[in-house]
A and B are shown apart, each in its own frame.
Chain A
């Protein structure tokens, strides 16, 4: 079975500060990992994905994530937070095996203060 664990249900940063949202995965097969963002009352938007190519993945809006197999981690970072980054962030996992779909972590709420 696959799962992801997001450490920290709520992260608060100041505008311009580093954003670090943590995600650890568990998978018995090579995982495919995703970060999605959700703004209030909206659907989910893909930020970036890891599908076994480069371990450092760059996404939209200045976000990036690094796949570390030894640490079973896929943490999301952004060098400088902007007020518009305030949202809910979900880490998700799937595999290339038949019968799988995206499985989400519990989510992390990012607050950005001025």
Chain B
């Protein structure tokens, strides 16, 4: 199983809503990532978890709150988002940080209205 599964695939939320994005992998990877991708742009790193601990936060606003309940799951909790937060949110995992390749999920297309 070389899949990273993200749910939901599409999400529309209001600026006062609270929602969560979910990501799951069963490859035994110990590093998991959240990336944000705007249209026609490359993915931008948001968070990195290594061995279930947050190791990198790329100065992401607090309205985005990551959580890693266990080594297979990664969540991104969303609260009080702005329309400019609309984007494709990609989850990825890798065996460990560093030179090994990252496997990406299909992404969640988020629209904030």
State the A residues within 8 Å of B (CB).
32, 34, 36, 41-46, 49, 51-52, 90, 94-107
- Say yes or no: is B21 at the interface (Cβ < 8 Å to chain A): no
Q: List 18 A-B contacts (CB under 8 A).
A: A32-B98, A41-B88, A46-B102, A51-B100, A52-B99, A90-B43, A96-B98, A96-B99, A97-B98, A98-B97, A101-B56, A101-B97, A101-B102, A102-B33, A102-B45, A103-B45, A105-B42, A106-B41
**Which B residues are CB-close (under 8 A) to A104?**
42-43
Count of interface residues, chain B, beta-carbon cutoff 8 Å: 27
From known contacts A43-B105, A43-B106, infer whether A100 and B42 are also in contact, taking CB-CB under 8 Å: no
| Cross-chain pair count, CB within 8 angstroms | 66
Does A100 lie within 8 Å of B90, measured CB to CB?
A: no
Q: A95-B99, A102-B102, A103-B45 are in contact. List 11 more A-B contacts (CB 8 A).
A: A42-B107, A44-B92, A45-B104, A46-B101, A46-B102, A94-B97, A94-B98, A95-B98, A101-B48, A104-B42, A107-B41
Docked-complex contact B33 and A101, CB < 8 angstroms:
yes
B103 within 8 A of A: yes
B25-48 at interface with A (beta carbon < 8 Å): 31, 33, 40-43, 45, 48
B109 at the interface (CB under 8 A from A): yes
Query: Is B55 on the interface with A (CB-CB < 8 A)?
Result: yes
